[in-house]
Amino acid sequence: MMHMIQKSRIFVCSLIITAFVFVSLPAAGAEKEPSGTVSIKFTSVAIGIGFQWGKGVLHFSGVDFPFKVSGLSVADVGYTSIEATGKVYNLSRAADFAGGFTAAGAGVSVGEGFGIASLENQNGVVLILKSKKSGVQFTLGLGGVRVQMLPVGDSDGDGIADDKDQCPDTLIGVDVDENGCPFDYDGDGVPYYLDECPDTPKGVKVDEKGCPLDGDGDGVPDFLEKCPDTPKGVKVDEKGCPLDGDGDGVPDYLEKCPDTPEGVKVDEKGCPLDGDGDGVPDYLDKCPDTPKGMSVDITGCWIAKGLEFDYNKWEIKSKYYGLLNKAVRVFNMNPTLTAEIVGHTDNVGSDKFNQELSEKRANAVRDYFIANGISLDRLTARGMGEKDPIASNETPDGRAQNRRIEFIPSRR
């Protein structure tokens, strides 16, 4: 917070008073020869904003008097410090140099490429200040320039004598401890006036701004991070882990099946497992051991897709032999494979009629397999009548789906 206040102060004080003319000598009545000279160094507080505080030495009557200055800044020119020299007029004693200076004469200007400031304080003391670097322009704060004389032996004016000051170049106005060093309230190694995260827990590693490190840039600091290698741009939760909307253990950014029901086992892509590869996931598959390549219905059960019977008939037409021969080849390639052949009907007709018809059709398919070399002990047949529809019997298409032969495979 303190750092932000200082930035705001710098910003407010950076109103540029510009007069692109050469500064004149002090107003009438000023001494022709200077009473003394000054040298000042301004130190950067915030890159891009400029300089606000500085310290200097007044050379007067053969004695050096240290002082600090505030309210006099320069536009940011990419330097970390700026030095200036100046001449002092109308000074009869060193104490009169202290106080508030405002623009005098031409005020702030640029002469020969160097920043120049002409200032006068409440005691009539005039200061002509010139930057030591070209391309620099001074700016004045709203309240003018304040000069405070410092005790001899305290070069940074922090109240700690130089011989005891462990941080002798502390910026003017920064609060220091008994060793003359800026306070670091959270103990992270970054002084409070530069610390943008002043409440960092002790022991946490921080960057140059005093903020906890965030190695993967997900917004969750490393000391709270449970998933430290999250790819950049991936949305994370409060633990720094990628979001997993359906809770299947596969993060959303890798997820190919984002709406998997809770508790369903998935593969590395987040999709439900399909052990027999029939396109029906295991959690919906009523026939999980369907041989590969076989047609299945919506429940995942192997069906003789396309096999049709005439009304009230159970004989297999020759045009369907190829369809059933494909099933025979599957049995021959899988000698441990057994199957239950189940016949189904729609709801047209009585329950008794449909039950008997489904049994006769299931037996007809079993007999075909036996006639083509599949042993009887690998086959069973039963009818379900109209009791297990997979579609609505209210439409022709639904009834067609319900008139079917299913194979329920198993291994022996």
d(CA 345, CA 350): 11
Using a 10 angstrom Cβ sphere, with 0-12 exposed, 13-18 middle and 19 or more buried, the burial of residue 391 is middle
pLDDT at 143 exceeding the cut of 70: no
Q: How far apart are CA 339 and CA 334, in angstroms?
A: 11
Cα–Cα distances in angstroms (integers) from residue 322 to residues 38, 136, 310, 387, in the given order: 108, 94, 18, 29
d(CA 319, CA 313): 15
Domain boundaries, the chain: 2-149, 302-411
How far apart, in whole angstroms, are the C-alpha atoms of residue 231 and residue 253?
10
Cα-trace Rg, the chain: 46
Q: Which residue has the higher pLDDT, 21 or 285?
A: 285
**Using one digit for the tens of pLDDT, what is the confidence trace for 307-339?**
888 878 899 989 989 989 988 988 898 888 898
Residue labelled with tokens 């400029």? 50
pLDDT computed for residue 73 by the predictor:
63
3-class secondary-structure state, position 45: strand
- pTM of this prediction exceeds 0.75: no
**pLDDT score of 114:** 60
**Exposed (0-12), middle (13-18) or buried (19+): which is 17, by Cβ within 10 Å?**
middle
Specify the residue for token string 């002092």. 88
Residue 213 scores a pLDDT above 90: yes
Q: What pLDDT score does 19 carry?
A: 31
Would you say domain 302-411 falls under CATH 3.30.1330.60? yes
What sign for the dihedral angle of Cα 52, 53, 56, 58?
positive
Residue 170 and residue 173: Cα distance in Å, rounded? 9
pLDDT of residue 401: 86
Model pLDDT for residues 152-170, shown as the tens digit of each residue: 677 777 888 888 989 987 8
**Average pLDDT in the 381-404 region?**
91
Higher-pLDDT residue of 12 and 401 is 401
Banded pLDDT at 362 (limits 50, 70, 90): very high
Confidence check: pLDDT of 350 > 60: yes
Express each pLDDT in 52-74 by its tens digit. 567 889 999 998 888 888 776 65
What confidence score (pLDDT) does residue 295 get? 82
The pLDDT of residue 214 is above 90: yes
Rounded to an integer, the average pLDDT of 12-36 is 46
What pLDDT score does 351 carry?
94
Report the pLDDT value the prediction gives residue 48, as an integer from 0 to 100. 42
For residue 139, name the pLDDT band (cuts at 50, 70, 90): low
pLDDT of residue 141: 61
Mean pLDDT of all residues in 216-239: 93
Mean pLDDT of 231-249: 93
Q: DSSP states of 386-411 as a string?
A: TSS-SS-TTSHHHHHHHS-EEEEEEE
Q: Where is mean pLDDT largest: 17-31, 119-133, 299-313?
A: 119-133
Q: Mean pLDDT over residues 94-117, rounded?
A: 69
Average pLDDT of 18-25? 34
Q: For tokens 């003017």, name the residue.
A: 172
Mean pLDDT of the chain: 81
